[in-house]
Structure 1
Amino acid sequence: MKNENLIHALGKCINACNYCADACLDEDDVKMMVNCIRTDRVCAEMCSTVTQVLSMNYPNMKDLLLVCIRICEECATECEKHAHHMDHCAECAKACRECAEACKTYMN
């Protein structure tokens, strides 16, 4: 169950980040969205990596999760800058925060 909750949160975060990055590319002022797009892509990749490594019984999983938490929190913070006028950023920030919490719960 512990794995399932984390895998669900990681998948939700991957999807939200990819959708947000794509939606940011359609914004009128793409230059303003560069940091958001970058953090979305990095976060999606990190969550994907954690999903893959989770099934391998990696002995240093905690270290990987700590990096994932930091990246998810950075992405959420970046998306929150635009969340008041861009729904995709609000949804992404929420998914990132939930994923970071799921990583923390998994480690405990």
Structure 2
Amino acid sequence: MAANLLRALLQEEEDDDDDDDDYASLLAIATLEEEQHLNKGQSTHRRGSILGHAVIQRYRVQVEVYDSYFVQRQNATETIGLSSLQKMTTAMRMLAY
């Protein structure tokens, strides 16, 4: 609503004044404000991206302390086995299936 009022004022200003640079900059500002107003309710964050990652990392540490199965170890050929995160993911998938 305010952006439309600003746009109307800018159009009146254009009729009164011939300074194109000022008009162009004011019109650009009005357009940006209108876009911000229209996009106000939309979130720029994806669902669960950062918070979910932090929660899983916190639980990973707690699970490693609770059960030694989830700790990453070397096998008999001295190659590193699955990480605790991979083991947790596999367990969750098995439970979900």
TM-score scaled by length of structure 1: 0.30
Determine which structure has greater relative contact order: mean sequence separation of CA pairs < 8 Å that are 6+ residues apart, divided by chain length: 1
Q: Which has the greater radius of gyration?
A: 2
